[in-house]
Structure 1
Amino acid sequence: MKKSVNIFEFPFNLGLIKKEHEAEPGVRKLPDWFRKFHFHKRINPFHIIRLESPKYTMNPDAETGVKNTDFIIEYAKKQSELILSHFNKNIFNIILGGDCSILIGNAIALKKLGNFGLFYLDGHTDYIPPRLSPSGGAAGMDLAIVSGLGHEKLTNIDYLKPYFLEENIFCIGNAETDDEEYVEQIVKSRITYFDLYQARKHGFRKIAHDFLHLVEDKNLTGFFIHFDVDVLQDKIMPCVDSRMEDGIDYQDLHEILNPLIHHEKCFGIEITILDPDYDENGEYTQVFTDKLIQIINKEE
């Protein structure tokens, strides 16, 4: 990584609905958990910037159909301000969640900086309206929200709708392909979409390069990577909120991320959904952080 690095810590978990055995979703512990594996030290960031999360709730919002809407909006605005106050085109930004709804604040900041693309790497599409969400959690609708699908209260914060143009988005890795109505939403959009099985056939490295061609052809200001770790195979990453058996392996991840992360127009990457509560001895997180650092630092 030639650029200097900033690490942002956004331990937000109000986009998820807690399970019966939980006091709250454990994803908020991710930044501190990564420190135990010396992630920050090995990355050696220029700055570490943190925004604490409000107390966990599951407040319904009848207007939007999304739980904790007001808290999500408030946090997203603060995220955006922090990102913008530390913006430097020569800085690569690593953003540690939290749940997927942290994408909203990141997207607002990027919209204020210009016209950005989004590479959405996730085991789900997260592209549904609230009426199709059984939980009402924003983490399952974040791609929809940032591309303008959903209630204006969330999709048009600071009158910036859409935060990303759909034609500038690639969505890769969905393994939840049995629900036709769920998949139909993104298929009918203008987003470039490869489910997990299509991506294997097309080639992960080729998909990354196809996205970079889009960025260059459209002369976009830059692009951002969303990386939800539930896109990984369950056998190597079971520490997630919504487990799927199939997914990509670490070689696939390297083929996808290596050309993207080291491109001059890459603003940064957000890492979401890894829940330390499901990895008590850290065996999965240790391997994950090692693999991710190798990619970021271009280590062999």
Structure 2
Amino acid sequence: MTIETCLRRGLFALACSTGVATASPAIVVVDAPSNLGLRPPAPGVEPGARKLAAALRGTGFVDRLGARDAGRVDAPPYSPDADAATGFRNGTALAAYSRTLADRLGTLLADDAFVVVLGGDCSVLLGAGVALKRRGRYGLAFVDAHDDYTYPRDAARYRGRYTAAGLDLGLATGHGPAALTAIDGASPYFAESDVVHLGLVREAGDAAYGDVARFERSPIHILDRAAIERRGAAAVGASARERLAGAGTDGYWIHVDADVLDASVMPAVDSPNGEGISFAQLRALLAALLESPRAVGLELTIYDPDLDPTGAHGRNLAHAIVGAFADSGRFSTQPR
């Protein structure tokens, strides 16, 4: 390892001088097994994304990362019913849970450890956003096949039943009810100009569903799935990393929705993506994002073990994530 590479990866001078990366930051893993942001997959059925953390832990994920186990932050009971007070299914419960999750994450971040959150659905982003907002100004690398920003045109149809997991980026950037967008009285959790969206795939019905042009006109920087195919996942990840690291923020958070993966390799999600990326591309993309010491945490969401009876897709997901940490050159892991 050259000194230039060592310094770029944020390693201490002693490690650089010896060529041995002995200054790897500590990693802590905390579970956020929440389904509060999802609609029920069928009447009377609760989504299975709440089981993501247990499934990944079953692969040896925590040990392979060389991480400290920070336990779990249990979510309130899930309800399929409308919530008129917030407009979002489970919105009132989600606001309370986000505050509780933020409290736990704030304690972990204060220890200068790299925090890994195992969801859960994408609405765990709100808890992370609140925690980071309390600390200062942070950016966001948002890895997802969907924009999670655009509200449906037919508002009456969804009244009280909006799903926070499908609008988490919109909520985190200040669009929606104050109960969810300003949990501590401060909004947004992330400025749009401090967000990079990676992996977007547009589907034929998107424009009819909502005003997607509003998202595309926003200050959010978009590096879609086509850019990843054209430029390569590592190059796109590096581009996002440099933009986020150079934005004048206090650091950045990484959000990973498993539906960014192609349905042929990751069908165990609530909205499978027929034009997604491969596990190898996800690994390269995340390795580039993780390389910077400005990256302070990562959350993994949406994988549903109920849709993966053999557990094979979960094992592949765990391997890709652990591999990304190893490939970044910043952490000591066991990517077997």
**Shorter-normalised TM-score: what interval?**
over 0.9
* Deviates further, 139-148 or 249-258: 249-258
Distance 2:154 2:123 in 1: 17
Is the alpha carbon distance of 1:277 and 1:182 closer, same or farther for their aligned partners in structure 2, counting shifts above 3 Å?
farther
The residue number in structure 2 matching 1:40 is 62
CA distance 1:182–1:96, shift in 2 (3 Å): farther
Matched, 1:177 2:173: no
Secondary structure of 2:198's partner? strand
Shift of 1:136: 1.3
Deviations 1:173-220 (A, max 9, x none): 122332224532311211011332244234432332222222333221
Q: Distance in 2 between matches of 1:109 and 1:269?
A: 13
**Rounded Cα–Cα distance in structure 2 between residues aligned with 1:229 and 1:35:** 16
1:23-42: CA deviation from partner (whole Å, max 9, x where unpaired): 20001111111122111222
- What is the identity, as a one-letter code, of the residue corresponding to 1:266? A
Aligned to 1:234: 263
Q: Secondary structure at the match of 1:297?
A: helix
Three-state SS of the structure 1 residue aligned to 2:33 is: coil
Alignment of 1:47-58 (within 5 A): 47-58=69-80
Q: Which residue of 2 aligns with 1:70?
A: 92
The one-letter code sitting in structure 1 at the alignment partner of 2:181 is: T
Map 1:212-291 → 2, pairs under 5 A: 212-291=241-320
Q: 2:168 aligns with which of 142, 152, 155?
A: 142
- C-alpha separation in 2, matches of 1:108 and 1:26: 25
TM-score by length of 1: 0.93
- 1:18 corresponds to 2:44: no
- The correspondence of residues 97-108 of structure 1 with structure 2, limited to 5 A, is 97-108=119-130
Which structure 1 residue ranges, 5 or more long, are not aligned? none
In the TM superposition, residue 22 of structure 1 has moved relative to its aligned partner by: 5.8
Q: Say which of 119, 133, 148 aligns to 1:126.
A: 148
CA RMSD, Structure 1 to Structure 2 (Å): 1.9
**SS of equivalent to 1:270:** strand
Deviation of the 1:271 alpha carbon: 0.3
Residue segments in structure 2 that go unaligned for 5+ positions in a row: 1-22, 328-334
8 Å Cα contact 2:33-2:119 kept in structure 1:
yes
Q: How many residues align?
A: 300
Distance 1:294 1:12 in 2: 25
Residue of structure 1 in register with 2:117 after alignment: 95
SS of the equivalent of 1:159 reads coil
The code of the aligned residue for 1:145 comes to L
**Preserved CA contact (<8 Å) 1:30 1:275:** yes
Q: Is the 8 A contact 1:78 1:105 kept in 2?
A: yes
- Aligned 8 A contact 1:64 1:153 in 2: yes
1:129–1:150 contact (8 Å) kept in structure 2: no
The 3 A distance-change label for structure 1 pair 183 and 130 is closer
Aligned to 2:220: 191
1:152 CA displacement: 1.8
**Whole-angstrom CA distance in 2 between matches of 1:140 and 1:230:** 12
CA distance in 1, matches of 2:25, 2:188: 29
Larger radius of gyration: 2
Match of residue 113 from structure 1: 135
| Runs of 4+ more than 6 Å apart | none
Out of 173-182 and 146-155, give the one that drifted further: 173-182
Structure 1 counterpart SS, 2:184: helix
Q: How far apart, CA to CA, are the structure 1 residues paired with 2:84 and 2:110?
A: 39
Amino acid in structure 2 at the alignment position of 1:85: T
